Structure 1
Amino acid sequence: MAAELSGAVLDLEEDEDLEVFTKKPSLAVSGPLPTSPSSMTNQYHLEREDQEESQVERDLFISVDNPESHVTAIETFIMYRVLTRTTRGDFDSSEVEVRRRYQEFSWLRSRLEESHPTLIIPPLPEKFVMKGMVERFNDDFIETRKKALHRFLQKISVHPVLSRSPHLKAFLTAQDLTPHKKQGPGLFSRMGETVRSMAHSVRGLRSRAEEFASIQDYVDQFSNSISSVDKVTQRIIREHREYVDELKQYGPAYSQWAELEPGGLSEVLRGVSRSVELCGQETEQRAQELSETLLPVLHEYVLCSDTLKAVLRRRDNIQADFEVKKDALAARKVDPETLQEEVDLLAEHLEQANVSLRGDWSRWRSGMSSDVRAAFVSTAERNQQHYEKCLAVWESFLLSQKMDPHRPDLEPTS
């Protein structure tokens, strides 16, 4: 979760590395909440676009499930089952099962990023969570992380380039990843990239193509917007839960008061108590669904905005390297033939980077639009249902009072 929530940050990562409403005069605490007769849900179902990836041409299906806790002498960690089904000929079996811990997902993402620096690699869930949100190895935390890791691999599995990566194949098939972890550039390559990025940021680019300047502007504004929505959503969820805690004290107070009162007032107080309890249950469910449906999507794209910025920096680094060599060639300070070869190679590298980013940017925009739209439509539907059900609770209470034979001052309405 983002650091907007109060509390100290804890490193919890164990690895380093409708039914139409019928009005009733009484309310039962146990049964489902009624739905208001004015419910729009009773009148139509919102049509949704099919947002699943086309299944026709897919030949790789990956799932993450079955988390298990492992305890050793020095650490405790969670391992997840990664199940792969495929029709690809380069796999030895059509179904492969391995178990992976978080640091191995992180290894995969790092290798994909090293191999494809200008592709937009999906983000992993963060290693850090907020104090007060979860406890270490809390079931809700593990479930949330499992879903995020599943989503990470799902996005990679449908990517036309990333899904063909040898690193992904090793991750999906090797029972022991240790030999694979020892291969490749790793840390020092990333350190070199950081140094180059700092140097280029000081010198700056001579000219950035307009399309990539526009992407940069969009990413900066998108990052600010999605971060604000993410933070406010977290605050709303927290306030919903605080409100539910208040309702849990509020309802029983009416019940206790009812014990002191004879006759009709006692029934009124009990009716209020039951209504408060039902609305509290519905509000609690709403907060939970916001946490499970809307917040993960928002926060995923907060992390995506950081990824986008890094990808754009790497593209700019490639262009900066090209410009440096091109300037050196123009000055003829070294062997021009050798330098021309380097300039030509960098020009090709830059063009490949531009093509990769251009295609992935279009793909990312389409996926983001679908994900965010689906999350907000689902949230809107749930908000509508929440308020309709709470409205129906209080309508039922009012009707019960109008039909009370002990209340001659209130005549039943037609």
Structure 2
Amino acid sequence: MEGELSAAPRRSSGLPDGGAGGDGGDSPSALLPAEALDLDGDEDDLEVFSKDASLMDMNSLSPLMPTSPLSMINQVKFEDEPDLKDLFITVDEPESHVTTIETFITYRIITKTSRGEFDSSEFEVRRRYQDFLWLKGRLEEAHPTLIIPPLPEKFMVKGMVERFNDDFIETRRKALSTFLNRIADHPTLTFNEDFKVFLTAQAGELSSHKKQGPGLLSKVGQTVRAVALSLRGVKSRPEEFAEMSDFIEAFSQKISLIDKISQRICKEEREYFDEMREYGPIHVLWSESEEDLVDTLRGVASCIDRCCRAMEKRLSGLSEALLPVVHEYVLYGEMLMGVMKRRDQIQAELESRLEAAAHKKADTDLLTAELGRLEDRLECANTALKADWERWRRSMRSDLTAAFRDAAARNVQYYEQCLATWESFLMSQTDLHTKEPSEDKP
């Protein structure tokens, strides 16, 4: 990929290919085609596409900015040729923990690797959701303009039963697994030291490592500074980043609408499925009081039962293959807006110092050195974002295309099964009525 900087070490091979994630997609310049997200223009829901639609505020993100240009140069390497996978991560066995203070879930994380920088080829640790939040924050601090995979939202407690039901735990487990495997497949994030510690350190070691991070006062200072720069804003983004920002806004609006519609469709079809399941037993009961229609009514009940099983399989597939992918990219839209804010913060800081230099508000020699450092930081941040942006677009296009094709194939299979079931039943009834007159003849 042209214009990209290379520094991350090449991963070694030694394990069979497998695991989750991966780039996929077409050429680096391939955008998500408009028709892939276009919906019927007559839909009332398309009012969401208004430019005035509010997007999630990301001012709360205020990570540390790397002070060394070399540290940012070293974070960028994107190869056109795929490397053999050498890091496999499994998230399983959720376990509930109840203390006098809180109740929480931990997940077992098994890591298998052939990398030389790891002390062993296999690790097993347990982590809770707060540990995943810590890892995400550390990655944002170390790589402010790389696109960090999103975590599932923090659950808003409505009741302990709802919070820890099996469906919620399983959904979160899959999302956490996707989060870790996307990091493992990222050419830069996969070599982050905090990621390695997260995968290998036991609970006590991880707690000690967390304490080595930025102190509370430092974080408060960063937050105040980031908010001030955010309010100040930038004079003008470079054209390519302005286009990137426009794409993110339009993409976020469309994918959010698709997410809402998909959730609504699945909910309504689940309700339809629950009602349809009751018709089979009703026809069986009916047949007991209709001697002349016993076979016909039981045949209808059998057809309904087969269609219900096909529909249950289809809904299960949609819930596992389509909805999580669409919702993940809703969260990606929020992450991307945060990345753009962090890039703008670096540019705003440079513009602020340039303004001070123009008015000679500070020591000229110190300003010259600082300006050089800020210019290097901005250039490296821009390079990192542009490279990661191309990689993300390929992955996004591949993931969404696969998810919608899978959903379409499941729909076609379901309707073909239902059609074949009812056609077979009707043929049997036609044959039955054809034979009856001849049997009645003397």
Q: C-alpha separation between the residues in 2 aligned to 1:204 and 1:380? A: 44
The letter of the residue matching 1:344 is: G
In the other structure, the counterpart of 2:149 is 122
Matched, 1:59 2:86: yes
Matched, 1:246 2:275: yes
Q: C-alpha separation between the residues in 2 aligned to 1:82 and 1:367? A: 24
Residues 13-62 of structure 1 show CA distances to partners (whole Å, capped at 9, x for unaligned) of xxxxxxxxxxxxxxxxxxxxxxxxxxxxxxxxxxxxxxxx9874333222
In the other structure, the counterpart of 2:162 is 135
TM-score by length of 2: 0.76
Distance change (3 Å), C-alpha of 1:230 and 1:217: same
Q: C-alpha separation between the residues in 2 aligned to 1:204 and 1:55? A: 39
1:196 and 1:317 in contact (8 A); partners too: no
Q: C-alpha separation between the residues in 2 aligned to 1:102 and 1:112? A: 16
Q: C-alpha separation between the residues in 1 aligned to 2:397 and 2:418? A: 32
Task: Please state how far the C-alpha of 1:67 moved relative to its aligned partner.
Answer: 2.1
**Which one of the candidate residues 362, 367, 378 is aligned to 2:395?**
367
The letter of the residue matching 2:299 is: G
Q: C-alpha separation between the residues in 1 aligned to 2:213 and 2:157? A: 34
Q: C-alpha separation between the residues in 1 aligned to 2:242 and 2:95? A: 46
- SS in structure 2 opposite 1:65? strand
- SS in structure 1 opposite 2:93? strand
Q: How does 1:7-406 map to 2 (within 5 A)?
A: 56-128=83-155, 135-175=162-202, 176=204, 177-185=206-214, 191-263=220-292, 265-404=293-432
- SS in structure 1 opposite 2:278? helix
Q: C-alpha separation between the residues in 2 aligned to 1:91 and 1:202? A: 43
**Greater displacement, 107-116 / 283-292:** 283-292
Q: C-alpha separation between the residues in 2 aligned to 1:281 and 1:54? A: 43
The letter of the residue matching 2:281 is: P
- SS in structure 2 opposite 1:98? strand
Task: Please state how far the C-alpha of 1:348 moved relative to its aligned partner.
Answer: 0.7
Task: Please state how far the C-alpha of 1:244 moved relative to its aligned partner.
Answer: 1.0
- SS in structure 1 opposite 2:280? helix
Distance change (3 Å), C-alpha of 1:335 and 1:54: closer
Percent of pairs identical after alignment? Answer: 55
- SS in structure 1 opposite 2:162? coil
Task: Please state how far the C-alpha of 1:370 moved relative to its aligned partner.
Answer: 1.3
- SS in structure 2 opposite 1:384? helix
Q: C-alpha separation between the residues in 1 aligned to 2:123 and 2:345? A: 39
1:240 and 1:284 in contact (8 A); partners too: no
Task: Please state how far the C-alpha of 1:102 moved relative to its aligned partner.
Answer: 1.3
Gaps of 5+ in 1: 5-52
**Greater displacement, 80-89 / 333-342:** 80-89
Distance change (3 Å), C-alpha of 1:55 and 1:338: closer
Distance change (3 Å), C-alpha of 1:332 and 1:54: closer
Q: C-alpha separation between the residues in 2 aligned to 1:118 and 1:103? A: 23
- SS in structure 2 opposite 1:61? strand
Q: C-alpha separation between the residues in 1 aligned to 2:249 and 2:230? A: 17
Q: C-alpha separation between the residues in 2 aligned to 1:220 and 1:148? A: 24
Q: C-alpha separation between the residues in 1 aligned to 2:419 and 2:156? A: 36
The letter of the residue matching 2:366 is: T
Distance change (3 Å), C-alpha of 1:189 and 1:303: farther
Q: C-alpha separation between the residues in 2 aligned to 1:353 and 1:55? A: 24
2:155 and 2:163 in contact (8 A); partners too: no
Q: C-alpha separation between the residues in 1 aligned to 2:233 and 2:133? A: 31
Task: Please state how far the C-alpha of 1:374 moved relative to its aligned partner.
Answer: 1.3
Distance change (3 Å), C-alpha of 1:201 and 1:169: closer
Distance change (3 Å), C-alpha of 1:268 and 1:248: same
Q: C-alpha separation between the residues in 1 aligned to 2:211 and 2:268? A: 47
In the other structure, the counterpart of 2:59 is none
**Alpha-carbon RMSD:** 2.5
Residues 104-156 of structure 1 show CA distances to partners (whole Å, capped at 9, x for unaligned) of 11111111111111111001112226979x83322222222111111111111
The letter of the residue matching 2:147 is: I
Q: C-alpha separation between the residues in 1 aligned to 2:384 and 2:431? A: 70
**How many residue pairs end up in the alignment?**
358
Distance change (3 Å), C-alpha of 1:310 and 1:189: farther
- SS in structure 2 opposite 1:403? helix
**Greater displacement, 357-366 / 194-203:** 194-203
- SS in structure 1 opposite 2:163? coil
**Greater displacement, 243-252 / 253-262:** 253-262
TM-score by length of 1: 0.81
2:350 and 2:371 in contact (8 A); partners too: yes
1:111 and 1:186 in contact (8 A); partners too: no
Task: Please state how far the C-alpha of 1:187 moved relative to its aligned partner.
Answer: 5.6
- SS in structure 2 opposite 1:100? strand
Distance change (3 Å), C-alpha of 1:289 and 1:189: farther
The letter of the residue matching 2:297 is: L
